[in-house]
Amino acid sequence: MVSPSLRIVIVDRPSWYEPVIEARELARVGAEVVVGWAQRPDRPADADRGFPAGDLSRAELSAISSAYVPPSCTTEERVIEMAQGAAGILAVRANISARVMDALPNLRAVGRYGIGVDNVDVEAATQRGIAVINTPGFCAREVADHTMMLVLNVFAQGRMQDAMMRRGEWGRDQASPMAALYTQTLGLIGFGQIAREVTRRATAFGLTVIAYDAYVAPDEMQSFGVRQWALMNCSRRRILSRSMRPSPRRPDTSSEKRNSAR
């Protein structure tokens, strides 16, 4: 067994977080993974929030929770204190700035729990020979699921109909006419991983999908059954007008009628 010689610090997971997966994977290169806030006796309440939850163990909760300590608590000073001697940092939203990097001479890599790296000064890291690593595809499917939920809700006027039902009303006429979903077109601006997952779900509902992306070839879009739409040849308003839109909504005057009857 290789003795741990590299220290990897998770800087903005709560103190109860159990880095089971991180520890298992990084043990392959002889690294030890620690949760920074668990080492701090002076931690704020936010560093302990989110646990316990029912009968779940720390390890079980860690496997399903996306809990993190707010950036307002995980300041540059705190990160520097927690990550002394660290060869790597794993962060969610903590600001990993040039100042942080300069204060950690052993730092060789910064890992981001997520797709974007907006909270990491990539240029400063490049200048210092520090690798910046993200997690491509993180939550792309979940975001696509949420997107389709919103699409269906808007198209079927779910919020309005839910409000009417809660008032004890059956206002089916207010949601009419409602076009068939499979006759509609969904327009996407950008065709990255999330858009592709949305496309898989939208086409299953029978939607026609068009998309614009300056960095994706038409052939690649066509492999998903998507037709490329060139924004350079039309206004953004036009591409949105080609996309699906909910049926015209009649004003809900039921509350006005009730008030006038009193």
- The contacts of residue 47 (CB under 8 Å, 6+ apart) are 14, 15, 37, 40, 69, 73
- The contacts of residue 90 (CB under 8 Å, 6+ apart) are 8, 9, 10, 11, 22, 33, 111, 112, 113
Domains and CATH numbers, the chain: 6-133 (3.40.50.720), 140-249 (3.40.50.720)
Distance CA 141, CA 160 (A): 27
pTM score, two decimals?
A: 0.72
Distance CA 12, CA 61 (A): 16
Give φ, ψ of 111 to 5 degrees: -105, 135
Distance CA 124, CA 130 (A): 8
Beta-bridged to residue 212, according to DSSP, are: 189
- The contacts of residue 17 (CB under 8 Å, 6+ apart) are 10, 35, 38, 58, 62, 65, 67
Task: Supply the pLDDT for residue 3.
Answer: 46
pLDDT in tens, the chain (262 residues): 444 479 999 999 999 999 999 999 999 989 999 999 999 988 999 998 887 667 788 888 888 887 899 999 999 999 999 999 999 999 999 999 999 999 999 999 999 999 899 999 999 999 999 999 999 888 899 999 999 999 998 888 888 888 888 888 877 777 777 788 899 999 999 999 999 999 999 999 999 999 999 999 999 999 999 999 876 555 555 545 555 444 444 444 444 333 333 3
Distance CA 219, CA 248 (A): 36
